[in-house]
Chain A
Amino acid sequence: MTAVLEARDLTFAYRRGAPPVIDGLTHAFAPGALTTVTGPSGSGKSTLLYVLALMLRPTSGQVRWDDDDASALPDAARARLRAGHAGFVFQDAVLDPARTILDNVREAALFAGMPDDDARERALELCDRFGVGHRVDHRPGEISGGQAQRVALCRALLTRPRVVFGDEPTGNLDGASARIVWDALRAHARAGATVVVATHDERLADESDERVVLS
């Protein structure tokens, strides 16, 4: 099957002349697979995710989405790809503290251009599935860290994205909550999506379909 997402001779450095954080990485991220990115701290795991998610431009090489050089696209086009095709789970949930859980989940629909009714129905369904359905009218300050991360997971899956990125999504969670998030990401991959997760948890990495190891 053709990869949706591919890194081709990818190099990235935060400053011109500085040693690259990612150096010549080539990898095709298969659809239907959960790929973990592992490596020691500072090895560029998160940076790779941000480059693949088109939030950073590579210093050289390409990030290809559907066999197109997406990294060369202008900002608006890259934003459209992210909004329409990708979901992102951060290490901390990064929720809007001023909005309800339901509105936080639906935020992804705004930029995707997903109709309101669909977004609401899907958000409620996801919240129920991940055990936060009874807290949809609460605000992030009123729920636990594990629940917040599940809310972030709901937000990432809201648009049924073909690509999901997770930046240490279980890093701040207890074992049970980490398992819920991990299983959800793996289920999403099994459903046909490309899922890329940066993690330092070797146990979870061993359960992944593929591994990219950075040094």
Chain B
Amino acid sequence: MTQTRDPEIDTARATAPIWPGRPHARHLVRDGVRTALVQRVSSIAGAFIVAIICVVVLATAGRSAANERAILSQVDSVGTRLLTLVDDKGEAGVTADGVLALAGVDAVDEAFGLGSAVDVRSVATPDGGAAARRALVGSLPEDLTLVSGRAPRPGEAVVGVTAARALGLADGLGAVALPRSGADETPVVGVVHGTGPLANLDELVLARPPAGAAPVPVRFVYVTARSVGDVPSLTTLLPELVRAENTSSLAVEAPSGAIALRDAISGQLGASSRQMMALVLGVGLVIVSVSTYGAVAGRRRDFGRRRALGASRSAIVVLVLVQTAVVACSGAALGVGVGLWATWSAAGSLPSVSFVTGVGVLAVLVALAGAVPPALAAALRDPVRILRVP
């Protein structure tokens, strides 16, 4: 038999094959993505299932998480992070420097101090009502709202809303001084309003000491911890951190009751939402698995052809999982969007970003886990039996 060789057959391949016979990973991923895009019906169905999982999780567990977040925010607003250092007898020797040093501690969000109380009256109405004036060490705390006027500079004061009424300084402008003598006059430049644990500041005139004035003894130090978790350690360390001369005269008031309440709420609501989420994800896993089985069964010839073309079993598994990942990511994005809208509509609040991200990631992982058995089934199926059935 005479044979003429065509250059298209590389004779060197008889001993050294050109093609490795294994797909590049990125080509396999790209093919999986492309297949997910062309298999529209099964892809849309799969994405829809994942989206429903996300919506149900967000509408149930997410709503619980949103409620938990709102309740904890309310609990926190009454001062779970606020500690008060009290020098009842005025013997501790806490100074402005100590308060400013506290404000620089990592675990401290903000700190300010108040000096001893002195009765003052409005200069305009010396026979009117009186209010207690205390020196303010540090800046105005964020939770104290400026109702009118501006923040005080050194040598100026602001009055709490209750004190403003008592002094006849409703607009927050004027001056206060010691009764009778009229000495120690301090300009008033604004009105402030405190809420929660700072509500008692409404009754005070808060005066910043003039620049260059003699150091003011501090009787109360208000410290806001960065997190509730920092409160126990700060409770112990505060007397030393504030550089008191006599720490035994200091008492630390910590919101232990509020913290216990916070922990109880967090624990109960958190456990409830976790159980709900586990249930929904578990059911979702089964549904994804069943639907993927259906989709894989409908593509038997597709997988059989690929096996005949040289796809290994692991390549088939990767293809199914990549398709599932593409579909699940799309479904999770859709479901998270709809779920957030539903949660906001129903509860008026939203779960945290980390919770929402977690739901999306979990939904994708659940879909992938659910797709593993069908992917293995597709890979293990005998391609010959498939291809020989018309």
Contact = CB atoms under 8 A, between A and B. Distances in A.
B310 A108 contact: yes
A117 B38 CA distance: 22
A126 B124 CA distance: 102
Contacts of A56: 384
Interface in B115-148: none
A49 to B, nearest CB: 10
Nearest to A165: B308
A192 B11 contact: yes
Interface residues of A, number: 48
A110 B33 CA distance: 14
A96 B315 contact: no
Nearest to B3: A32
Interface stretch (A36-44, A83-91, A142-150, A199-207): A83-91
Nearest to B384: A50
B13 interface: yes
Interface string B270-291: 0000000000000000000000
Given A46-B388, A110-B27, A190-B4, A96 B305 contact: yes
A79 interface: yes
Given A76-B312, A79-B311, A162-B13, A98 B384 contact: no
B3 A190 contact: yes
Contact of B21 (A46, A112, A209): A112
A80 interface: yes
Given A76-B312, A79-B315, A55 B306 contact: no
Interface of B: 1, 3-6, 8-11, 13-15, 17-24, 27-28, 31, 34-35, 38-39, 301-302, 304-315, 383-384, 387-388, 390
22 contacts: A32-B1, A33-B1, A53-B308, A75-B312, A76-B313, A79-B21, A80-B20, A82-B308, A84-B17, A84-B20, A96-B305, A98-B39, A99-B34, A111-B23, A111-B306, A113-B22, A113-B23, A155-B309, A160-B13, A162-B9, A191-B5, A191-B6
